[in-house]
Amino acid sequence: MKALDFEHRHAPLAPKERFRARVAAAAGVSAALVAAALAVGMAGYHWIAGLPWLDAFHQASLLLSGMGPVETMTAPAAKVFDGLYALFCGIVLLAATGILFAPVVHRFMHRFHLEDAAK
C-alpha cells in the first residue's frame, strides 16, 4: 500500500494531504480487519454454537469491542470456540488500534526527530 509508506527519518515531514491519505488508508485497513474478525465470530457462533444470525452478530460484536459475552455457551465445542474467539478478539482489538494510530504516532515522532536534528 503506497498510502501507508512512511518517510525515512531524514526526509522532510510529509504534506498534510499525504498524512490524511495515510490516516484514511489505516482506517480502511483497521475496518477491514475488524469486519473480517466479526465475520469469523458470526459464522462460528451461528454454526458451532447454533445461535441465530442476529444473536451471533450481537455476541461477536460485543466480544470484539471488549464488552464481554452475552450468551452462555453450553455445548463443549461452543465453549472452546467462545474462549478462542475471545482471545482472538483481544489480539484483533490491539492490532486494529495500532494500525489506526500508526500514522499519527509516526508523524508526532517524526516531527520531534526533525526538531532535534535542526538544533
Percent of the chain with pLDDT over 70: 87
Angstrom distance (rounded) from CA 103 to CA 110: 10
Distance CA 62, CA 82 (A): 12
End-to-end C-alpha distance for the chain, whole angstroms: 34
pLDDT in tens, 40-71: 999 999 999 999 999 999 999 999 998 888 88
Domains of the chain by residue range: 18-118
pTM: 0.83
Band of residue 113 on the pLDDT scale cut at 50, 70, 90: low
Where b means 16+ CB within 10 Å and e means fewer, 48-77 reads bbebeeebbbbbbbbbbeeeeeeeebeeee
For the domain spanning 18-118, the CATH number is: 1.10.287.70
